[in-house]
Amino acid sequence: MNARRWLRPARTALFQVALGGLSAFAQPGHNLQIVASHVLKAAGATLQVDFAAGALDLSQDSVLAHVQRAADAVAAYYGRFPVSRDRILIVPDADGHGIGHGTTWGDMAGYPAMTRIHIGQHATEQDLKEDWMMTHELVHTGFPSLPDDQHWMEEGLATYVEPLARVMTGELTAKQVWHDMVRDMHQGEPQTGDAGIDHTHTWGRTYWGGALFCLVADVAIRRETHNRKGLRDALRAIVEHGGSIDQNWDLPKALAIGDTATGTHVLSEQYAKWKDAPVTVDLPRLWSELGVKPNGDEIEFVKDAPLAQVREAIAH
């Protein structure tokens, strides 16, 4: 599984869309001609997948199967696909390799969500197998659009949920996910001179700081509820209350709904502590309590660790 090192553009209304059969997706200064359109279903939702002009070594069927897997993983985590319709634009990058960057917008030209993914002309089946970007982008559909200073929650949530969703559909194993968390989660810790998470918009604090917030909250919710509830329950409730990407909310509103669903105050209280002041997490202690033991380049699970059942519930 590739390390997650990326920057993602902010979702803005710069991307104007012209709809119709084989229409063009237009961005200022650049037109993309659509050469093929397909419709997929995910837990009742409709996903229109459009291919922009350009050569791909991969077949369209292979790319469509990859989109389907990502959509199914997101639907498994949320209990349904978060929006009724998503339009997904596949943009081939000439002479490129692998899966490029992606962006998802809300409320675009009548669609609750629209996702654009760049795929290198010479991308392979192995690249699709290792890709996390497609699922990451589709996870974005399951949370409201937030003010700029709270953007870390949108990105951190997608960073945290993506691998857990793929465990639920068998794409990844729990050991792979915990290995990557142990390897990467420290990048979300505040650095010297950092302020609270609402005020520090570095790459590490935006993506991994947000993911760290989600992990700590997930564990805390499960502690308080004796493992009956977790962050997934909170996120599902937010979607059920209309909190998908096409809605503009502030973060406290979303967290309050999540707290009600779990019967706790974990999310709101944790945000109050983290938003204005840097909070450091004792990650070695957390891994030990969860029973995640680093062993060289691998990890081992400690079955009798205090929070071993919490670890199992988070990634199963």
Yes or no: say if 301 and 175 are a contact pair by the CB < 8 Å rule.
Answer: yes
CB atoms within 10 A of CB 173: 13
Question: Is beta strand 30-42 parallel, antiparallel or unpaired with respect to 45-52?
Answer: antiparallel
Q: What is the pTM of this model?
A: 0.91
Distance CA 116, CA 49 (A): 10
Q: What's residue 110's pLDDT?
A: 87
Distance CA 83, CA 67 (A): 15
Q: What's residue 154's pLDDT?
A: 98
What 3-state class would DSSP assign to 96? coil
Q: What's residue 11's pLDDT?
A: 38
Distance CA 90, CA 32 (A): 10
Instruction: Report the candidate in 207, 269, 262, 209 with the shortest Cα–Cα distance to residue 238.
Output: 262
Q: What is the pLDDT along the chain (316 residues), one digit of tens a residue?
A: 334 333 333 333 333 333 333 333 444 224 789 999 999 999 989 999 999 999 999 999 999 999 999 999 999 999 999 999 999 999 999 999 999 889 999 999 889 999 999 999 999 999 999 999 999 999 999 999 999 999 999 999 999 999 999 999 999 999 999 999 999 999 999 999 999 999 999 999 999 999 999 999 999 999 999 999 999 999 999 999 999 999 999 999 999 999 999 999 999 999 999 999 999 999 999 999 999 999 988 999 999 999 999 999 999 9
DSSP-derived letter for residue 277 is: S
DSSP string, 157-172: HHHHHHHHHHHHTTSS
